[in-house]
Structure 1
Amino acid sequence: MRIGITSPVVTALPGACSPWERTATVADLVAVATAADRLGFDHLTCSEHVAVPVAVAEQRGGTYWDPLATLSHLAAHTTRIRLATQVLVLGYHHPLALAKRYGTLDLLSGGRLVLGLGVGSLEEEFDLLGAAYDERGAVADDALPALRAALGGPRPSYDGPRFPFGGVVVEPHAVQARVPFWIGGHTARSLRRAREHGDGWIPFGLGHDRLRAMLDGTDLPDGFEVVLGAGRPVDPIGEPDRTRRALDRTVAAGATVVNVHVAATSATHYADQLSALAALAGLTPTPTTPTAPEDA
């Protein structure tokens, strides 16, 4: 079983954010990231919102750490765990800008980048940023192949209706031969977009029965990743049986990777919960390098 962490601290969703996260430090976040890295978890996440209107923040939250800065910092403190944007809004960026910024992160992290990408849903934010909300689907359909082309090497080219480019150098660029794209959404169109342009799908707001039906009706390519949330925060120390059932239900719904929120009262408690969860799920910790004995 592969399990990713919906990173604490970096977002503050009403009703989902634990009290300790509101006063947590960067050191607390790093402690969680290094524990997840050491214990064999698949990935850490960071979402994107630039400027959330106050009225909307009451429902969606207003705290969203910048994913590029955040994941770059965590890359410097980890060695194995993947770093996933969940998700970047395609309409807010030119594909070449994403390729330069996140291609550099892929280089710095040793090829651990996963680009979670979506069309976006917050109209007010589109308006604030001067992006075309009504055209966001068409923009995404051209931005995805353009981004794939832009990440592929130092002299990319692409001939599309909205983002054509050529005769340019983008260096540094991603070191992975194919950076995984996880496409977010909750519609059949988002799943089709994931199949056509991506390597995985991150659905949200769908029940497990609906998810299973959508997946069963779709021919997915080999290696395609379905990243599903396990529901309410898991408590592997206090409720190991319920935690195991939540993981098993998520896999039964079609997950190849399970995303979890972890219940905790502090960064230390969070790391302890991760240790219990790793043991429960049979994750393989990163081997430690033995320390050479000191000379007598």
Structure 2
Amino acid sequence: MEIGFAVPGSGAWSTPANQVTVARRAEELGYHSLWTLQRVLNPAGSDDRTYRNVPDPLITLAYLAGHTARARLGVAIVNLPFYAPPILAKQAATLDHVSGGRLDLGLGIGWMREEFAAVGAPMERRGARAEEFIAALRALWGGDSGDAAEFHGEFYDIPPVTMDPRPLQSPGPPLLLGGASEGALRRAGRLADGWVSSSRADLTGIGRSIDVVREAAEQAGRDASALRFVCRGAIRVRPPGREGRRPLTGSYEEIRGDFEAIAAQGVTELFADLNFDPEVTGPDADPRASLDRALEALDALAPGT
């Protein structure tokens, strides 16, 4: 199982300077990948502070591409309904070039009604729209430079066009689908290069979700062994020995033990993510202290330790 790390992406500590500090240190320590997340906006008056001060994930990755050289750059995830296929296709292809072919593109269908209302996107039939969106992306990226691409579906209709530059990775950046419902898991198995779990996933049973994805891939005639299974590891460093401890909450020794249990369920990559710990990202958290905690976690959880 490869190990990655999420850069500061939510709360007062999610500054460009802190993102670069974490990214560079992660690469020095041999982490496989760096990850961001997306939240466009939040409903006014909400007491939920999880997604405050979230920078745009793709711009953040483009910035970090210039400060790193080896680590893969992933977003988990961007919500397809907030884009038109040609816009995301162009942004992802450009980012793939900027990063030297290191982009992993996580895709989801969204869930916050206020975001859908604000961007003017319908929430109905999100799954069907996502399937067309993925096909449109691949059509726009496909073929040799100069070849015409077109797509005609129920939701998206693209006339014969050319889009350059094509992605550096061929046939395009790996597409990792999110989602926890059976429909979403089966969609990932049928259409994507892999699946990425959410921060709310039950990590004691993540293997069951992986099995559904694999089964759908096999039923579609695909090679299930080639799929990637990425776990967003929402870690919370706490004193050891807590009764009823949840996976990835506890001491570094306990968390590393959880890594082994998660890998045994079929996860191929886990990235440690502090952005869902209120002690790191909450309104009372000190940004400097949050960065110090991240640097400590980077050292403690580094691959090979």
Bin for the TM-score computed over the shorter chain: 0.7 to 0.9
Letter in 1 for 2:207: R
Runs of 5+ consecutive residues of structure 1 not aligned to the other structure:
13-21, 284-296
Question: How far apart, CA to CA, are the structure 1 residues paired with 2:206 and 2:81?
Answer: 26
Question: How far apart, CA to CA, are the structure 1 residues paired with 2:225 and 2:209?
Answer: 17
Q: Given that residues 29 and 267 in structure 1 are in contact (C-alpha distance below 8 angstroms), is that contact kept between their aligned partners in structure 2?
A: no
Misfit runs of 4+, over 6 Å: none
Question: How far apart, CA to CA, are the structure 2 residues paired with 1:158 and 1:206?
Answer: 34
Instruction: Check 1:38–1:142 CA distance in 2 against 1; reply closer, same or farther (3 A cut).
Output: same
Query: What is aligned with 2:220?
Result: none
Q: Given that residues 104 and 172 in structure 1 are in contact (C-alpha distance below 8 angstroms), is that contact kept between their aligned partners in structure 2?
A: yes
The structure in which a higher percent of residues are strand is: 2
Q: 3-state DSSP class of the match of 1:165?
A: strand
Query: What is aligned with 1:202?
Result: 196
Residue 244 of structure 1: CA displacement? 1.6
Q: Does 1:241 align with 2:253?
A: yes
Q: 3-state DSSP class of the match of 1:41?
A: coil
Written as runs of structure 1 = structure 2, the 5 A alignment for 1:53-132 is 53-56=43-46, 58-132=48-122
Q: Given that residues 4 and 42 in structure 1 are in contact (C-alpha distance below 8 angstroms), is that contact kept between their aligned partners in structure 2?
A: yes
Query: What is aligned with 2:7?
Result: 7
Instruction: Check 1:25–1:121 CA distance in 2 against 1; reply closer, same or farther (3 A cut).
Output: closer
TM-score, L = length of structure 1: 0.82
Query: What is aligned with 1:223?
Result: 226
CA offset digits 1:120-146 (Å, max 9, x no partner)? 101111011110111322211110111
Question: How far apart, CA to CA, are the structure 2 residues paired with 1:92 and 1:106?
Answer: 20
Question: How far apart, CA to CA, are the structure 1 residues paired with 2:88 and 2:293?
Answer: 35
CA offset digits 1:149-186 (Å, max 9, x no partner)? 22235443323222232421212221100311111111
Equivalent residue for 1:260, pick from 266, 272, 292 = 272
Percentage of pairs with the same residue = 33
Instruction: Check 1:175–1:222 CA distance in 2 against 1; reply closer, same or farther (3 A cut).
Output: same
Letter in 2 for 1:275: D
CA offset digits 1:35-76 (Å, max 9, x no partner)? 112222122222222222123462542321011211110000
Residue 224 of structure 1: CA displacement? 0.7
Letter in 2 for 1:26: P
Question: How far apart, CA to CA, are the structure 2 residues paired with 1:230 and 1:60?
Answer: 15
Q: Given that residues 6 and 259 in structure 1 are in contact (C-alpha distance below 8 angstroms), is that contact kept between their aligned partners in structure 2?
A: yes
| Range that drifts further, 205-214 or 97-106 | 205-214
Aligned residues: 270
Q: Does 1:174 align with 2:167?
A: yes
Instruction: Check 1:180–1:57 CA distance in 2 against 1; reply closer, same or farther (3 A cut).
Output: farther
Q: Given that residues 230 and 250 in structure 1 are in contact (C-alpha distance below 8 angstroms), is that contact kept between their aligned partners in structure 2?
A: no
Letter in 2 for 1:251: A
Query: What is aligned with 2:245?
Result: none
Runs of 5+ consecutive residues of structure 2 not aligned to the other structure:
218-223, 239-249, 281-288
Letter in 1 for 2:5: I
Instruction: Check 1:214–1:58 CA distance in 2 against 1; reply closer, same or farther (3 A cut).
Output: closer
Question: How far apart, CA to CA, are the structure 2 residues paired with 1:210 and 1:270?
Answer: 27
Q: 3-state DSSP class of the match of 1:5?
A: strand
Q: 3-state DSSP class of the match of 1:55?
A: coil
Q: Does 1:150 align with 2:140?
A: yes
Letter in 2 for 1:252: A
Question: How far apart, CA to CA, are the structure 2 residues paired with 1:85 and 1:75?
Answer: 13
Q: Given that residues 14 and 53 in structure 2 are in contact (C-alpha distance below 8 angstroms), is that contact kept between their aligned partners in structure 1?
A: no
TM-score, L = length of structure 2: 0.80
